[in-house]
Amino acid sequence: MEIHDDGQIFFEGVSAEELASAYGTPLYVYEENRIRQNFRRALAAFRKYYPDTRFFYAIKANNNLAVANILRQEGAGIDAASVNEILLAREIGLGGDDVMFSGNFLSDEDIRQGVESGVIFNLDDLSLLPRVLKYGVPERLSFRVNPGYGQCDIGAFVCNAGPDAKFGLHPDQVLPAYKAAKEAGVKRFGAHMMPGSSIRDPEYFGYVTGLLMDLVGRAGQELGIDFDFIDLGGGLGIPYRHEDAPLDIEAAAERVAQVFQQKIAQYGLKPPRLMMEPARYFVGDAGYIIGRVHAVKESYKRIVGTDIGMNVLARPALYGAYHHIYVNRREQEPRIPLNLCGQLCENTDLWVRDRALPQGTQVGDLVVVENAGAYGYAMSYQYNGRLRPAEALVNGTRHVLVRRAETIADVVGLMNVPDELKK
């Protein structure tokens, strides 16, 4: 995104005004070239220090198939959190070893479909193993390990490792899990963890890699098994606030590789493939929301009402996440504390409070929300009759609609009213 001398906001070579005119607001916008640059930067850093590295894209963060295809073209596999995400991967031509299935608290039907899909099955808990075995012995199996510690730069609610997380094997269960899988006839193994969310400290990635490698290394050494792959999860962070420093991806990759190779040697393991499954790092800062101001209310405070509500972007209302706000053609104006809300009948929809924004902001202005490419549209929902917005993809001066906005016909079409209720 760039702000030109006249104050206009551009996404690559396309203005916010042109996109709003073409597709309406609210509108999610993704910069294709930024996605590709992010992926290439990260992969080059990790392969520099550990050549046998493969990235999988955690499609839960942004399930638009145009976005997923960009990353497939760059060489990414898909990390699927549900059976339906396995099917999304299939829509872009990926399956088998190109898809990692890391569901949690699965139903028997989830397990059956996961096994029959032929993708890499990553079990969140030892209790799932007997249920998986009802459908046959997989040739290869992975376990998700909770390394006992997690970190998150965007709040405890999304820290998915450590004692308060619901995910993964307890450290004491790692050896019994692999022992049980080996005794059941599994021949090939993987290991997986999630280190946390949106972490920007390179040293942390080395530290948490060591925790995982000690747990699975001891299991491999004691049981005489090697690992086809060890997946370090995601967690590569982006700066949401302008004063935050970005992750030094080169330093993170170097530290991870050092620890990874040291632990491989320590436990006498055959060198496995190093895998990771970022999403936010690839798409987070490549996505934006364009909205329009529809009312300015003078009450106890000045409240700017836009068509971007918590139904469009849930993160601020859900766990206090910060997103930077721009106002088209007004960024050079003096700033005053303003409040920004959506159009929902909920006070949590007042999701920007006392933020320094351009004082001349008025009805008709376009506002732009930054860092909305990950966990933006994917977490949107219908409420108060408000519908999910459209999504557009920009490449240079070209733009294309990659998901149309919902209509009321989409909502009504899913419902059935019995004839007796129509009388």
What would the pLDDT profile of 320-356 be if each residue is shown by its tens digit? 999 999 999 999 999 999 999 999 999 999 999 999 9
Would you call 341 a catalytic residue per the annotation? no
pLDDT in tens, 373-388: 999 999 999 999 999 9
8 A C-beta contact, residue 94 and residue 144: no
CB neighbours of residue 98 within 10 Å: 18
In sequence order, the 6+-apart residues with CB closer than 8 A to the CB of 321 are 154, 155, 240, 315
Exposure string over 252-281, b if 16+ CB within 10 A, otherwise e: bbbbbbebbeebbeebebeebebbbbbbbb
pLDDT in tens, 32-73: 999 999 999 999 999 999 999 999 999 999 999 999 999 999
- Please provide the DSSP assignment of 357-416 as one string: EETT--TT-EEEESS-SSSSGGG---BTTB---EEEEEETTEEEEEEPPP-HHHHHHT--
Task: Provide the token pair at 106.
Answer: 């699965």
**Helices (DSSP H) in 141-226: which residue ranges?**
174-183, 202-223
Instruction: State the DSSP code for 59.
Output: G
Element (H, E) at 65: helix 65-73
Rg (CA), the chain: 23
CA atoms within 13 A on the CB side of 75: 12
What is the chain's percent helix, strand, coil content, to nearest 5?
35, 25, 40
38: CB partners within 8 A, 6+ apart: 281, 282, 283, 285, 286
- DSSP H or E segment with residue 50: none
Residues 178 and 381: their CA atoms lie apart, in Å, by 40
Please give the pLDDT value at position 196: 80
Q: pLDDT tens for residues 102-147?
A: 998 999 999 999 999 999 999 999 999 999 999 989 889 999 998 8
Sign (positive or negative) of CA dihedral 294, 364, 317, 389: positive
H helical segments located in 292-373: 315-319
Whole-angstrom distance, CA of residue 350 vs CA of residue 76: 38
Round to whole Å and give the CA distance between 5 and 93.
43
Confidence at residue 226, expressed as pLDDT on a 0 to 100 scale: 95
pLDDT at 153: 60
Cα–Cα distance between 167 and 152 in angstroms, integer?
Answer: 15
Tell me the C-alpha distance between 43 and 35, whole Å.
Answer: 12
* pLDDT confidence bin for 214, thresholds 50/70/90: very high
The 10 Å Cβ neighbour count of residue 107 is 11
Q: Closest Cα to residue 117, out of 144, 143, 62, 78?
A: 78
Give the Cα-Cα-Cα angle 129, 130, 133 (nearest 5 degrees). 90
What is the mean pLDDT of the segment spanning 16-37? 98
- By three-state DSSP, how is residue 41 classified? helix
| Crossing angle of the two packed helices 202-223 and 174-183, in degrees rounded to 10 | 40
Provide the terminal-to-terminal Cα distance of the chain, rounded to the nearest Å: 55
- pLDDT above 90 as % of the chain: 91
Q: CB–CB of 140/189 below 8 Å?
A: yes
Q: How many of the other CB atoms lie within 10 Å of CB of 158? A: 18
Q: Give the tens place of pLDDT for each residue, 141-191.
A: 999 998 865 555 655 555 565 566 667 889 999 999 999 999 999 999 999
- Res 149: pLDDT: 54
- For the cut 90, the answer to whether the pLDDT of residue 194 exceeds it is no
Q: Is 144 helix (H, G, I), strand (E, B) or coil?
A: strand
- Residue 126's contacts (CB-CB under 8 Å, 6 or more residues apart) are 143, 169, 173, 176, 177, 180
Q: How confident is the model at residue 195 (pLDDT cuts 50, 70, 90)?
A: confident
